[in-house]
Amino acid sequence: MTGVSRRRLFGMTGGALAIAGAGAGAGYFTGRQGEPAQVEPFRGAHQAGITTPAQDRMHFVAFDVTTTDRGELVDLLREWTQAAERMTAGLEAVENGAVGGVAEAPPGDTGEALDLPASSLTLTIGFGPSLFDGRFGLADRRPPALADLPHFPGDNLDPARSGGDLCVQACANDPQVAVHAVRNLARIGFGRVAVRWSQLGFGRTSTTSRSQTTPRNLFGFKDGTNNLKAEDTAELDQHVWVQPGDGPQWMAGGSYLVARRIRMHIETWDRAPLTEQEAIVGRTKGSGAPHGAAEEFAPVDLKAKGSDGEPLIADNAHIRLAAPERHGGARMLRRGYNFTDGSDGLGRLDAGLFFVCFNRDPRTQFIPVQNLLAKKDAMSEYLEHNGSAIFACPPGVQPGEHWGQSLFA
C-alpha cells in the first residue's frame, strides 16, 4: 500500500475530498511504512509552508503576469487555488486529470505524481512589488512593508534570477511532488503567466526543534539552530505574522517572504582551517554549540570573553552580526534550502543556499540584518548573492475563498 495516492482518490467528489482533507490532517490516512499520509491542511488562518516544519525538498517559482486584464488574473488565482488545494491533498490538479478525462483531449493533469502520496506538499503564494505597478489597479494597495530591497554591498544580482510578479513556494518530502505542483500551476497559467525563474532545493534550514538532528548547509555547519521555531507561537506573532493595523488590512495574518540565491564559494571555504571556519560562524562545527558553550541549543552569549580578554564570538562572526540583540530584538523565520545547479563553467560546482525568510516587516528585520552582514560579516568573503526577490504572502485561505481574495476584494 503506497499511501493516499492520486489514483485511489481519483473519483472522489468535492464532499469526499473535504473529508479526506480533514481526516488526513489528523493522520486519518496512513502512508508508506504505516506513517501518517503526510497531508498538510491547505486552508487556515495562515498559509501553509511558512511555519510548517520544513519539508525535505523545495521547488520555488517566480512568475511574470503576461495578461493585463485584472479579471483574468483573478480567474487564474481562483483556478490555482482549486488545483493547489487538490494537489496538497494528494490529488491530481483537476478531477479525472491525468487519465480519466476525455481521451481525445489533453489530460488536465500531467500525470507524473500519479501513485505518489501527498508527501506533505505545501503551496505558498506571494505577490511581488511589480504586481502593484498599476496594471491591475493595485497601486494603492501596496503595503509599505513590501519595500524594494536596497542594493546591498557585494550584491551581484542576475535579473533572470530576481524579482517576479508572483511566486509559489512548493515544499514537499518528494521533489517529484513539488515539481509536479509547480508545473501544473504553470500549465494552468499558460497565456496569463510565464515562468520567470525557478529554483530547486534540498537539505533545509531547521524550523523545528522536534526534528532529531539539525540539517547542515554546504559549509558543513548546522543551520537553523537559533531559528524561530514552529512551536514558538508568541514569537511568531511578533516576528512573522503581519498583525492587524500593521499596514493594509488585506495582509493581516500574512507574512513577507525574502528570497536570496546565495552562491557559496565552497572551494575557497574548503581551504579555510577549521578554527577559521568556526570563528566566522561563531559556532563549533561538529556540535553546533555557540563559542563559549558545549551544547548546540545553549544560549548565545555575545559578552563571553576568553582568558586573553578577546570575545569568544568574534566581532565579525555571522551569529554576532545577525543576533537579535544587534537589531533591536528583531528576529526572522529562516526557511532556506541548499542547492547545487550543475557547474559554473569554470571547473567548479554552482552550489549554495537558497535563503528564504519570513518577516512581519522586512524593513526592520531582513533589510537591516542583511545590510550589516553584507558590510561586516566575515562569511561574506565566501558568498555571492546573485538572486533576490521579495513577496507579500497573503493570509490563509478561508473556506470558499481563493488565494489573494483579500487583496482583490
Our CB check for a second copy shows the closer of 21 and 189 to be 189
Interface with ligand HEM (CB under 6 A), residue total 28
Residue type, 339: F
Q: Decide if 38 contacts 120 (C-beta within 8 A).
A: yes
Q: Is 318 in the site for ligand HEM (CB under 6 A)?
A: yes
Burial pattern 256-295, b for ≥16 Cβ within 10 A else e, equals: bbbbbbbbbebeebeeeeeeebbbbbbbbbeebbbbbbee
Burial pattern 110-148, b for ≥16 Cβ within 10 A else e, equals: bbebbebbbbbbbbbbbbbbebbeebbebeebbbebbbe
102 conformational bin, left if phi > 0, alpha if psi -120 to 50, beta if neither: beta
Q: Is 59 in the site for a second copy (CB under 8 A)?
A: yes
Residues 183-242 that bind ligand HEM (CB under 6 A): 217, 219, 221-227
Phi, psi angle pair for 86, to nearest 5°? -65, -50
Closest approach, Cβ 353 to a second copy, in A, equals 11
Our CB check for ligand HEM shows the closer of 4 and 353 to be 353
Residues 338-397 that bind a second copy (CB under 8 A): 338, 340-343, 345, 347-349, 351
Distance, in Å, from the CA atom of 145 to the CA atom of 148, rounded to the nearest integer, reads 9
Our CB check for a second copy shows the closer of 205 and 365 to be 205
Q: Is 280 in the site for ligand HEM (CB under 6 A)?
A: no
Q: Is 141 in the site for a second copy (CB under 8 A)?
A: no
Our CB check for a second copy shows the closer of 203 and 362 to be 203
Distance, in Å, from the CA atom of 405 to the CA atom of 394, rounded to the nearest integer, reads 9
Contact map string, positions 333 to 352, toward ligand HEM, x by CB under 6 A: -------------------x
Closest approach, Cβ 186 to ligand HEM, in A, equals 19
Distances in Å between the alpha carbon of 163 and those of 41, 53, 175, 260, 300? 28, 26, 23, 10, 35
Closest approach, Cβ 58 to a second copy, in A, equals 12
Q: Determine the 3-state secondary structure of 17 from DSSP.
A: helix
Pairing of β 57-65 and β 166-172? antiparallel
Q: Which does 298 bind (CB under 5 to 8 A by kind): a second copy, ligand HEM, none?
A: none
Among 46, 142, 196, 335, binds a second copy (CB under 8 A): 196
List alpha helices for 264-387, DSSP H.
Answer: 266-269, 274-281, 318-321, 366-376
Cell matching residue 380: 561574506
Q: Is 23 in the site for ligand HEM (CB under 6 A)?
A: no
Q: Which does 318 bind (CB under 5 to 8 A by kind): a second copy, ligand HEM, none?
A: ligand HEM
Burial pattern 391-408, b for ≥16 Cβ within 10 A else e, equals: bbbbbbbeeebbbbbbbb
Interface with a second copy (CB under 8 A), residue total 74
Contact map string, positions 96 to 135, toward a second copy, x by CB under 8 A: --xxxxxxxxxx-xxxxxxx--------------------
Closest approach, Cβ 133 to ligand HEM, in A, equals 26
Q: Which does 226 bind (CB under 5 to 8 A by kind): ligand HEM, a second copy, none?
A: ligand HEM
Distance, in Å, from the CA atom of 182 to the CA atom of 41, rounded to the nearest integer, reads 18
Contact map string, positions 369 to 388, toward ligand HEM, x by CB under 6 A: xx--x---------x-----
Q: Any idea what the Cα angle at residue 76 is, between residues 70 and 81, rounded to 5°?
A: 130
Contact map string, positions 204 to 233, toward a second copy, x by CB under 8 A: --------xx-xxxxxxx------------
Closest approach, Cβ 236 to ligand HEM, in A, equals 15
Q: Which does 392 bind (CB under 5 to 8 A by kind): ligand HEM, a second copy, none?
A: none
Q: Which residue has the cell 579555510?
A: 272
Q: Bridge partners of 260?
A: 355, 388
Among 190, 210, 325, 329, binds a second copy (CB under 8 A): 190
**Where do contacts with ligand HEM occur on this chain (CB under 6 A)?**
217, 219, 221-227, 260, 262, 264, 281, 283, 300, 318-319, 322-324, 352-353, 355, 366, 369-370, 373, 383
